[in-house]
Structure 1
Amino acid sequence: MNPVVIDSLHTRPDFRAIARWVEPRATVLDLGCGDGVLLALLAKELDVKGYGIEINDAGVLACVKHGVNVMQQNLEDGLRLFEDDSFDFAILSQTLQTIHQTAAILRETVRVGKECIVSFPNFGYWPHRFAVLRGRMPVSRSLPYQWHNTPNVRVLTIRDFEALAPEVGIEILDRVVLHGGRAVRWGANWRGSLAVYRVKRSG
């Protein structure tokens, strides 16, 4: 396996959770795919046919180097290029918190994907709460940026996402909450630093 893929697996615990839900030989759309490592992993391990969307020039170049099919596009412009249920799985892997049009993108994601997987850092994690109580914005492994250079434009918790889901026509099928790569079984909204959801369009 490409060593870049191995290194990324160590730093992105949501990748393994995502891989467990994706079916072999599925078609996958990765929205905000970054360097394309997740799609490269899924292609190698599950023989998926994957496509990525990424706005950043460096990310697009990295995708090409990893052999990933990528389109350079701003997610904020929507997914009008794709028909309903175009893919078996659509993935928003730690992308949701970087988007301004959150509700619109979620609706579009479950429109183009028969099933979808969404992961995001949980701002309800207790050290994050404690940092705010001390008067500072949190910085951690799951939130590695300072307030002035973070790509995150939305702040959400596990409970926030679960409250929003029915409002935007999303049915939650499964959930895993992680910290340090391990599943958090209880007190997820304050003990988990990363949430991963398997969802689909409701109705």
Structure 2
Amino acid sequence: MSALRPDLQIIAENVTAGARVLDVGCGDGALMAALRDRAGVSARGLELNPTNVSAAVTRGLSVIQGDADTDLADYPSDSVDYAILSQTLQTTRAPHLVLEELLRIGRQAFVSFPNFAHWRIRLSLLTQGRMPVTRLLPESWYDTPNIHHVSIDDFRDLIASRGWTCDGEWFLSGGKPTARGMANLLAEHAVFLLRR
């Protein structure tokens, strides 16, 4: 079995065995398959890309094609233990509304995203005056699916303004854990576990 992306590994390690999960923006279903195979999790997925939907279904997963911005209203409240949104928040049209829906559907929600305040991005903007193209953000500004550039501090402010509770925070740089203290500057990715 292939290794999970580092943010997905954190999520997989923190989902309770036997839980019910909705993975929004599930890609090819790698996380869902790992949760099913390792922890007996009952997982469902929602994915925009039809090629990814097909790949997930080929793995024997329950995945439907849909859009996080418009289709989450169809899910019942408190219908899963965990709603997951990994590396998808920044591609949604209304991230705050998508998060509200996740926290309505799931008792808890995992959210992971690239930190657009990472020092390499800041340095690239400062020295080159252009939107950076990096290993983790490989698309040019005109071809990127990222429409909201969120930082860790921005996300923490949103959590506070909405009155949500943060049950966990994990920060990654180079795929490895990094300290919380200066995460907004040093972390390339963030993973949060939230609840209402």
**TM bucket normalised to smaller:** over 0.9
1:157 matched to 2:151? The reply is yes
How does 1:97-136 map onto structure 2 within 5 Å? 97-133=90-126, 134-136=128-130
Distance in 1, Cα, partners of 2:56 & 2:17:
21
How does 1:31-46 map onto structure 2 within 5 Å? 31-46=24-39
SS of 1:92's equivalent in the other structure is strand
* RMSD (CA atoms): 1.2
Structure 1 runs, 4 residues or longer, greater than 3 Å off: none
TM-fit CA distance, 1:29: 0.2
Distance in 2, Cα, partners of 1:62 & 1:169:
37
1:189 matched to 2:145? The reply is no
2:139 aligns with one of 129, 142, 145: 145
String of CA shifts for 1:152-174, please: whole Å, max 9, x gaps.
11101000000011333421111
Structure 1 unaligned spans of 5+: none
TM-score of the aligned structures, taking structure 1 as reference length = 0.92
TM-score of the aligned structures, taking structure 2 as reference length = 0.95
Structure 2 unaligned spans of 5+: none
Report how many aligned residue pairs link the two structures: 194
String of CA shifts for 1:6-39, please: whole Å, max 9, x gaps.
15x2xx2101110121000100000011111110
Distance in 1, Cα, partners of 2:121 & 2:190:
15
Does the Cα contact within 8 Å between 1:78 and 1:108 map onto a contact in 2?
Answer: no
SS of 1:150's equivalent in the other structure is coil
1:20 matched to 2:25? The reply is no
TM-fit CA distance, 1:72: 1.1
**Identity rate of aligned residues, in percent?**
42
